[in-house]
Structure 1
Amino acid sequence: MAESVRAAVLTAPGRYEVQEFPRPTLADGALLMQVELSGICGTDKHTYAGETKQYAGTPAETDTPFPIIQGHENVGIVTEITPRAAERIEFYGRRLKVGDRITHCPDIVCGRCYTCKHVSGWVWCDNSECYGNSLTSADPPHLLGGWAEQMYLRPDTFVYKVPDGLSPRIAVLAELMACTASLDKLKEFSSYAFEGFNSGDTVVVIGSGPLGLLHVAKADLMGAGQIIATDLSSYRLDWAKRCGADEVLDVTATSAEERIDRVRALTGGRGADVVLHMANTPRSFVEGIEMLKRGGMMLEMGNFADTGETSINVHRHVCSKNIRLVGLTNHPSTGYGPALRLLERYADRYPFEEMVTHTYGLDAAEQAMRTSMSPESMKVAIAP
């Protein structure tokens, strides 16, 4: 096996270089994965643009370091594994071996802080680290992101064996599908009258990129009565229809007032029961609140990186409307098993296999990034 490993390295915002690194020696409990596909996430786009602050205002606040190997939506094949990792690293206790297809949670948690000890499942660690986001390639073992031929997975990683029937093109969506556990969180509120996400509810999804589309599909699976999707791209709105949206609103062809009025017209004048804000900009945040019924619930998940501020009237938008506003960064480590099962079970119902619309090699990392920003793309992936 080769003694050096190639990787696409983001040396500074907007600047990629293909570099070679020594093949790492595995620590006890670690493994090496040959990367098959690594999806480009909205977070990666922010980092490329220099918008590097994440978890702002929390003990986990960080600025992405450079140089870095990006890529945290990864699927690959085990190429080397230590005996302890073979026995212990798989999240559900399954034994791993060379040749197994795996995916992993990008977040590494300490297990000791207050949040780790009090918040079950969700990776809200005060000391969290993240593959492809907070671990620089300058330090050994270097290969801590998916835009590399081989990726090093530390002993404290949550690793998941991919079902045999799931192709890499679908399995690379596992991290995003795990994020749709947000809808399960909203469902918890439905034990109270008029709150949360109930069967038959009208759900609006603002932002129809890959994250938004998987939320459209999950809302459909969970019994939404009506799903309305918005986006700047007619191409992506066509995808939203394929994933279960009943009505789509083109942001480039309508005003915010027209979109709000349309949502109200489709709900008997009340407004949506649930709004899912999946756009990576704060500009449409207040619009989402305006679309809500009185007592409705809004989930904010799109602004994972610090993209700036927006103005809100607390009386009008929060207090008077009696809204329930839920902010979620990230997903639960417990969400991968359910995500993989849903992707496998419903692959014939939704276009999961087609969702990776473009793939690029390491030498074309910048082209891949620019394509991912195009309105005529869906999930763009690096295939090292």
Structure 2
Amino acid sequence: MNKVYAMVVEEFGKPLQYREFDMPVPEGGEVLVKIAASGICGSDVHVWKGEDKRSHLPMILGHEGIGYVDKVNAGRKDIFNYELEEGDLIVWNRGVSCKTCYNCLIKRKNYTCSSRWSYGFSKSINDYPYLNGSYSSHMLLTPETEIIRIVKVSDINPGEDYIPYASACCAGTTTACTFEQIRIDPSDNVVIQGPGPLGIYAVLFAKEAGAKNIIVIGGTKERLELCLEAGATHIINRNQTTLEERLERVLEYTDGRGGDIVLELAGTKEAVEEGIRYTATNGTYASAGIAVDVGEARINWFRDVVRKNATVKGVWVGDIKNTYQAIKMYEKNKELLTKMISHRIPLIEADRALQMMEQKKVIKAVLIP
């Protein structure tokens, strides 16, 4: 029988192990995908270190996969009712929800479903569908998994670089979900905390929404410069400024008003404690960068929320609609977002890639089987 392989987390914080598996034969609506690339997300580092309590060992990381249909049975379709064919380039919803609970049916936010499980997070290699993370040569998608066909097999261009589509799977999706839940008026000032992949996508979405000023705060020079290229009007290097200096600059750039929209995309409680102070009267503070429990944040609730009549909003991941929105944003900004993929690393070197991500030595890294 043909074999597939994956890099498996057998102990938290320890080197990933190369393991081979029998190649599965899809049944019914299952789809076997040959992975083209897997983006490395900051969340992968949390899982690898054992900080995400959803995880069960041994497991395969990876929720930012794109790939080609390797095997599929007749009749399996994507969300637009296109019948899938072997060789189609696809992406899929990283989460699978019940679609029957209150949050799925009444609130219509299936990404908040209490029964939702996620590829690369929730299941071990002993749980169906077994090959359930994209740090692998192949994945098996369940019949319930929502799929988007990016390029039909007959339209595949051998000379085109499809790898950067991986950036839309998590960073783009979560950012699209964030902008779906906030409102930006043309006169609004947007402050973005965190110039990573989420922040870069946020600049693009804010620019498209017509924001007056887009201010990005972060500590990595290369990431900040890419945000400028994406359309940020101002950048502030937090490694070269104090908190009070950053607050003064935000007020200076916004005519003393502050951020009408402030986005936490940095993933720390310190960012929340600081960012809430940037928020303007009648502004919105939205947090989408924190993926694990980082403890309690200290906020002057009267000064920074009540007295400002401010809205504080949490954002948790996103759904297949948001992935589609992110794909469209990528397709409008291919040249820029291709630059965001700073490192392409062989899958067998996943340990090195995770360490580089943890140390922020990359803007965006992808693993190539």
1:130 aligns with 2:118: yes
1:274 paired residue among 244, 261, 264: 261
Give the counterpart letter for 1:4 in structure 2.
K
Aligned to 2:357: 372
Within 1, Cα distance between the matches of 2:84 and 2:12? 37
Equivalence map 1:239-318=2 (5 Å): 239-318=226-305
1:102 aligns with 2:90: yes
- 1:235 and 1:376 in contact (8 A); partners too: no
- 1:18 and 1:362 in contact (8 A); partners too: no
The percent identity for this pair of structures is: 30
Q: Deviations over 1:91-146 (max 9, x none)?
A: 11111100000001100001111111113354211100000010111335421000
Within 2, Cα distance between the matches of 1:169 and 1:3? 25
Aligned to 1:42: 42
Equivalence map 1:145-160=2 (5 Å): 145-160=133-148
Per the TM alignment, residue 167 of structure 1 is displaced from its structure 2 partner at its CA by 3.7
- 1:123 and 1:333 in contact (8 A); partners too: no
1:358 aligns with 2:343: yes
| Aligned residue-pair number | 360
Per the TM alignment, residue 275 of structure 1 is displaced from its structure 2 partner at its CA by 0.3
Structure 2: 5+ residue runs without aligned partners?
none
Q: Deviations over 1:282-312 (max 9, x none)?
A: 1110211101111111110011221222212
Within 2, Cα distance between the matches of 1:266 and 1:309? 30
Q: Deviations over 1:231-262 (max 9, x none)?
A: 12112111111111111111111111110111
Equivalence map 1:10-25=2 (5 Å): 10-15=9-14, 16-25=16-25
Per the TM alignment, residue 184 of structure 1 is displaced from its structure 2 partner at its CA by 2.7
Give the counterpart letter for 2:107 in structure 1.
V
Give the counterpart letter for 1:80 in structure 2.
K
Aligned to 1:170: 164
1:186 aligns with 2:177: no
1:331 paired residue among 275, 299, 318: 318
For normalisation by structure 1, the TM-score amounts to: 0.90
Within 1, Cα distance between the matches of 2:228 and 2:167? 19
- 1:236 and 1:376 in contact (8 A); partners too: no
Aligned to 1:27: 27
Tell me the SS of whatever aligns to 1:12.
Answer: coil
Equivalence map 1:204-219=2 (5 Å): 204-219=191-206
Most deviating of 135-144 and 229-238: 135-144
Query: Over aligned residue pairs, what C-alpha RMSD do you find?
Result: 1.6
Within 1, Cα distance between the matches of 2:366 and 2:292? 20
Q: 1:252 to 1:133 in 2, by over 3 A?
A: same
Within 2, Cα distance between the matches of 1:320 and 1:338? 35
Most deviating of 131-140 and 75-84: 131-140
Per the TM alignment, residue 357 of structure 1 is displaced from its structure 2 partner at its CA by 1.0
- 1:10 and 1:67 in contact (8 A); partners too: yes
Per the TM alignment, residue 25 of structure 1 is displaced from its structure 2 partner at its CA by 2.8
Within 2, Cα distance between the matches of 1:270 and 1:364? 47
Q: Deviations over 1:5-46 (max 9, x none)?
A: 110011122221111111123231101000011001111111
- 1:36 and 1:77 in contact (8 A); partners too: yes
Aligned to 2:65: 74
Give the counterpart letter for 2:58 in structure 1.
P
1:64 paired residue among 55, 62, 68: 55
Aligned to 2:6: 7
Aligned to 1:58: none
Per the TM alignment, residue 335 of structure 1 is displaced from its structure 2 partner at its CA by 1.9
Give the counterpart letter for 1:299 in structure 2.
A
For normalisation by structure 2, the TM-score amounts to: 0.93
Aligned to 2:131: 143
- 2:10 and 2:59 in contact (8 A); partners too: yes
Q: Deviations over 1:171-222 (max 9, x none)?
A: 11222222222113212xxxxxxxxx21131111001111111111111121
